[in-house]
Structure 1
Amino acid sequence: MKRLFPTFFATLALLVAAPIAHGQTAPAPVAYTGPRYPGGPDSLRALVFRSTRLATPAPTGRMLVQFELQDGRTPRDFKLIDPPKAPKALRKASETALAYLQARMPAWKPGTPDADDQKGSTRKVHLVLDFATPAAAQPYAYAEQLPTFPNLTALLQAQRNPYLERSLSNPKTLARLASAKGLTTFMQLQVKYPPAAMRAQEQGTVYLYFEVAESGAIEQRQILGTAGSVLDDEVLSTAARLPAATAPAVLQGRPARVFQVIPISYRLATGRP
């Protein structure tokens, strides 16, 4: 007998903390510990922007670039991820931009290994080709300090997930959960596999894009990698419930707009009951 069920492959930070009570101190800022572009976030943003200026006339829209950092350093395996119904002009301009980035992308400086990373694993990096937004208005891929989301801990605690409760006493992982990394956990615990998607045999990875503004607001929610319209709608609907940051990202001592890409993977599997 055929059986359908979802499997989520992205790593879950299975952590939770109690909500902040009145009078308690908010979580301390969380420093960015991932891999770093040699010239810093400004130089990385400038490189990506230059790649989008090669097409004439420039199309509108965004396209997602994904590549891996072998051992946290060496860029490899560059590829484009198509958004829903990507126009041919956008695809063609993105291919030109991708070739430009691949030829000019230097080795990165490795960051501090994440507690969830396996030894020797590769790190996936996402960059966004935005052909319409001016350079100064485009968000950064990372900043010196991550946005903080202390309200996420209360939302996740309300789930009463037994796996989450195992990490209640770990202060380091609790601090990570109150950062932008906790948004991935929230999304993966909230999304469902809609029956309509199962009937339509929709599966694959949905790539959610959004920006955390200088005010902390979640803006520009968009699907930049599709696994089918029903699954895309489910992820986008769940993303509408993401809470705002109580403190934004910080770069060079100032609030900074940053983007985040969360991949949500779905798989249809068969098996005997």
Structure 2
Amino acid sequence: MKYLLLTFVAAIALQLGAGPTARAQTTAPAAAYTGPRYPGGPDSLRALVYRSTQASAPAPAGKVLVQFDLPNGQQPNNFKLLPTTGPINIPLLNAAAASLSYLETHMAAWQPASTGAEASATGKFTNSLVLDFSTPMAAQPYAYADTQPSFPIPGRNRLPVVGGASPESLARYIQMQVRYPVEALRAQQEGRVYAYFEVAENGNLENHAIVSTAGKFLDATVLQAVRKLPAALTPALTQGKPVRIYYIMPITFAIQ
């Protein structure tokens, strides 16, 4: 039996963050966000997603991951909810379904990604957004920012990447941290795990969690690896100000 550990990087919400001590020691250049942009910017997207979580009342506690496609980086379609972790939570699933319906109805066409930004072989972006039913609007993190945080992870030549971590370099770094758990192989667990974390305004990485599961053994090893990510060198910026931002880290396991 062979097993493969694959890394898959979503087009949205995949940038990296930074710590205050490291920032004082570097002059890392800012890295502009090059993915698809929502009309009105990150603030408008955050407000839309928050309104969607209020579509059913009372809103339950918890987070749910939603994905959708942007053909050519424009009109969203193919909305879907991903499997949640833990026991089945009917109130949360019902609220997520109402939120998904709201987004399908009210989400505007996105602006295409900048030249050179990554898309799949079909030319479409697959975006991930977190539906957070527990956090007040003022404390909701952004899905993306005008400027990416700079993240000191090794590149192909093993030197730190300080001008913003590319999806490829981030995937390589995480892959070096993750091993296929023996328990997961015995249980024939495979699939894609989605880890979540936030980069605070001061650059600290916080609130690590698994938001979509492929089995408890795979979830545990991915969460452990994501918690080892080093602090970023500079925070995310929107309109020139540091902002809290979240990231979705998909890691795929396959047994062959």
Question: What TM-score, normalized by structure 1, do the two folds share?
Answer: 0.82
Q: Distance in 2 between matches of 1:115 and 1:126?
A: 16
Q: Distance in 2 between matches of 1:63 and 1:54?
A: 14
2:18 paired residue number: none
Q: Counterpart of 1:60 in structure 2: which amino acid?
A: A
Q: Distance in 1 between matches of 2:55 and 2:26?
A: 49
Which shows bigger deviation, 181-190 or 132-141? 181-190
2:185 paired residue number: 198
Q: Distance in 2 between matches of 1:190 and 1:94?
A: 32
1:37 paired residue number: 38
Q: What's the CA shift for 1:54?
A: 1.6
Q: Distance in 2 between matches of 1:263 and 1:51?
A: 24
2:111 paired residue number: 109
1:231 paired residue number: 218
Q: Counterpart of 2:45 in structure 1: which amino acid?
A: L
Q: Distance in 1 between matches of 2:202 and 2:161?
A: 23
- Indicate the SS of the match to 1:205: strand
Identity of aligned residues (%): 45
Per-residue CA shift, 1:116-142, capped at 9, x if unaligned?
A: 545642111111111110001000011
Note if contact 1:207-1:224 (Cα within 8 Å) is conserved in structure 2.
yes
Of 66, 87, 93, the match for 2:95: 93
1:137 paired residue number: 139
Q: Counterpart of 1:210 in structure 2: which amino acid?
A: F
Note if contact 1:206-1:263 (Cα within 8 Å) is conserved in structure 2.
yes
Note if contact 2:9-2:249 (Cα within 8 Å) is conserved in structure 1.
no
Q: Counterpart of 2:113 in structure 1: which amino acid?
A: G
Per-residue CA shift, 1:51-80, capped at 9, x if unaligned?
A: 111211110000011011001112111000
Q: Distance in 1 between matches of 2:244 and 2:166?
A: 13
Q: Counterpart of 2:57 in structure 1: which amino acid?
A: T
Q: Distance in 2 between matches of 1:74 and 1:130?
A: 23
Note if contact 1:72-1:109 (Cα within 8 Å) is conserved in structure 2.
yes
Q: Counterpart of 2:112 in structure 1: which amino acid?
A: P
- Indicate the SS of the match to 2:43: helix
Where do 5+ consecutive residues of structure 2 fail to align?
11-24
Note if contact 1:38-1:109 (Cα within 8 Å) is conserved in structure 2.
yes
- Indicate the SS of the match to 1:185: helix
Q: Distance in 1 between matches of 2:224 and 2:67?
A: 24
Q: Which has the higher contact order (CA 8 A, sep 6+)?
A: 2
1:121 paired residue number: 123
The yes-or-no answer on 1:268 pairing with 2:251 is no
Note if contact 2:209-2:223 (Cα within 8 Å) is conserved in structure 1.
yes
Give the 3 Å change call, closer, same or farther, for CA 204–256 of structure 1 in structure 2. Answer: same
Where do 5+ consecutive residues of structure 1 fail to align?
13-23, 157-163
- Indicate the SS of the match to 2:85: coil
Q: Distance in 2 between matches of 1:25 and 1:54?
A: 44
1:77 paired residue number: 78
Q: Distance in 1 between matches of 2:117 and 2:133?
A: 36
Note if contact 1:4-1:198 (Cα within 8 Å) is conserved in structure 2.
no
CA-atom RMSD, angstroms?
Answer: 2.3
- Indicate the SS of the match to 1:44: helix
The yes-or-no answer on 1:248 pairing with 2:235 is yes
Count of equivalent residues = 241
2:2 paired residue number: 4
Q: Distance in 1 between matches of 2:248 and 2:140?
A: 15
- Indicate the SS of the match to 1:46: helix
Write 1 or 2 for the structure with the bigger share of strand: 2
Q: Distance in 2 between matches of 1:139 and 1:114?
A: 26
Q: What's the CA shift for 1:180?
A: 6.6
Note if contact 2:7-2:250 (Cα within 8 Å) is conserved in structure 1.
no
Note if contact 1:30-1:175 (Cα within 8 Å) is conserved in structure 2.
no
The yes-or-no answer on 1:219 pairing with 2:206 is yes
Note if contact 1:149-1:180 (Cα within 8 Å) is conserved in structure 2.
no
The yes-or-no answer on 1:63 pairing with 2:69 is no
Note if contact 2:5-2:175 (Cα within 8 Å) is conserved in structure 1.
no
